[in-house]
Structure 1
């Protein structure tokens, strides 16, 4: 296992507003992110010699997405990477960029995710959906997560007031986020969550994300190069764990158990931390139950104890464990497959001390997670955990 390192840093970030059916292309949205980063850091575009791009839904049919995007941004690169891990792609991109920098393949990397899924709906994609899921009514992630919730409730019991608390906490944070999508800019009560309609029993409409358009990104370089460029703000990736296709050969694997049982402890060990040391938690939140499962499997509480942990912990931006302080995808909107970078950029913003009225006190570290792909009769396919430190 690698020791904790601070030789590579995130030195800038950018994010577009999240918009429902905004009509802008993924190229246009990514351009805005790059412009923000250049303006924020004062770095010349010619300094960027690497790019790491997340796959999209809106550009699904484009086999040269990363190359064409770099061209559109006017970047000549020595290292190009595209990640097809869904919501786990951006956190994975940070670590891959760090490795490329350490290997001398490039010096400064733009890690960017951009998607216009609500404006440019994708063609049908995804493993066995046609053969196995659709005939029995499991229409993609909503159906699968409804089944996962049913199983969790059968095994451990599920207090829906805990999910209601998560929904309200994130909505309160989203109300303070100027980039959150306009349609979600409305206060929410726990009763309103509990009264919302079921879409895949016991999953409610307010359990899941609203697909939108948007982009986000960060600039990654070596600590030495950051000093050369005169950059004053930096956060360091000090711990990482990643698992894809957890227990893929176990045909009877528990669908409530994910790769976070491995990736979480691995990231914490590398960072020299325990869950109790985590100052902020920015989990991937396509569904509220995913947050609860991550809390349990990373080690914040035991199996089946997620409901009580949530009910007994202040998760507000002023609380003991601030949770998705920008509202997360559920209350800011999911910018397609750029959703994996949404909470990461919020963590960086917090650690730069630039979160405005939702600023966390003492943002010394943050845990960010990613989830990717929902297969049939299994838990999600990709799980990763990234720990950032000042």
Structure 2
């Protein structure tokens, strides 16, 4: 008989800017201990392990399993950036359903030194290394600045419209004790901020932090008395447009109809949305691709739905305010969604949250990102 899989734990460490005495291995250790503490499991009950990290190299998940004294029957490494969290979730769900494991810890962490970050930017992929690095390009900021300008021209947006999203997410971050940036953000401060790559300012670019995230995928019924979250639908598409498009449409536009059809839901049924937010423009692109914007002018949608929190988007503050902990950013939205559905959101808790949508987007390759995925979650209560 096929067993059912649920998400029965989700936690993370406080995000920090340039902390001392920290390593990626220590972050992974601490977030695993936090996950065990939250769920009440002991180490020997973890029989599956998935890890995403840019700075763990040359170690792999099996090295971490050995260091931590784990003996997994199922193991996975993933480095697909913003798509990594949902990618690992998809594989872990299938593994538990098939009986390959009963309790899979999905961990993600990164701690960057200055040299680590420069190396990642310059050697992100063979394409980046061979074709972009020789041009001394400024990393993804310049590429997403072009996408932002394109959206401004196409949709009649101004910088203040993107600022409205950043301010709304900063308001959510005020209730997140793990966020690196919790102080209020005013529009005049946003508009006068230092430019990074026109039209982007520092508030439009995710700040690099050190941090870790973790979830537990387990067999239904394994943990008693612990709020669980069910996966209602999960879809992924990689290498969507082969870089032939303009970047303002992602693979989410292709998988969205199947995602909604399989779930039996529509956007109006979703209580919280967590979009991968390396830049404000990509939040808008994903929300549109997923059907939340519909035929409403984008500027009105930002003003009426996001600024008012009528549609709770990135309730942790998102990476724009919480920070981007490298590959752990791919797990960030998933952890926040499970936190909301389990009713553990504290001061930022969305009342009555039962259903959440999480999207992932990552792996910049020359022009745009190659991977897109999305999942619809539902409270098990």
TM range (shorter): over 0.9
Runs of 4+ residues over 6 Å off in structure 1: none
Matched, 1:107 2:105: no
Q: 2:255 maps to which residue?
A: 263
Secondary structure of 1:111's partner? strand
Q: 1:129 maps to which residue?
A: 128
- Partner Cα separation in structure 1 for residue 352 and residue 165 of structure 2: 22
RMSD (Å), alpha carbons: 2.0
- Partner Cα separation in structure 1 for residue 311 and residue 283 of structure 2: 13
Q: Deviations over 1:42-101 (max 9, x none)?
A: 1122111001111x2222x41x42111122222100010111211111111111101011
Q: 1:321 maps to which residue?
A: 311
Which segments of 5 or more consecutive residues in structure 1 lack a partner in the other structure?
Answer: none
Matched, 1:42 2:7: no
Q: Deviations over 1:297-337 (max 9, x none)?
A: 11112479332211111556xx4211111111110111111
The Cα of 1:159 is off from its aligned counterpart by 3.2
Residues 1-390 of structure 1 mapped to structure 2, 5 A cutoff: 7-23=4-20, 24-54=22-52, 56-59=53-56, 61-62=57-58, 64-118=59-113, 121-122=116-117, 123=119, 124-125=122-123, 126-134=125-133, 138-181=137-180, 184-224=181-221, 226=222, 229-248=223-242, 252-302=244-294, 305-314=297-306, 319-377=309-367, 379-390=368-379
TM-score (norm 2): 0.92
Is the 1:170–1:324 contact (alpha carbons within 8 Å) kept by the matching residues of 2?
yes
Secondary structure of 2:277's partner? coil
Distance 1:231 1:44, change over 3 A: farther
The Cα of 1:160 is off from its aligned counterpart by 2.6
The Cα of 1:243 is off from its aligned counterpart by 1.1
Is the 1:347–1:368 contact (alpha carbons within 8 Å) kept by the matching residues of 2?
yes
The Cα of 1:232 is off from its aligned counterpart by 2.8
Is the 1:264–1:384 contact (alpha carbons within 8 Å) kept by the matching residues of 2?
no
Which segments of 5 or more consecutive residues in structure 2 lack a partner in the other structure?
Answer: none
Aligned residues: 373
The Cα of 1:272 is off from its aligned counterpart by 1.3
- Partner Cα separation in structure 1 for residue 170 and residue 249 of structure 2: 27
TM-score (norm 1): 0.90
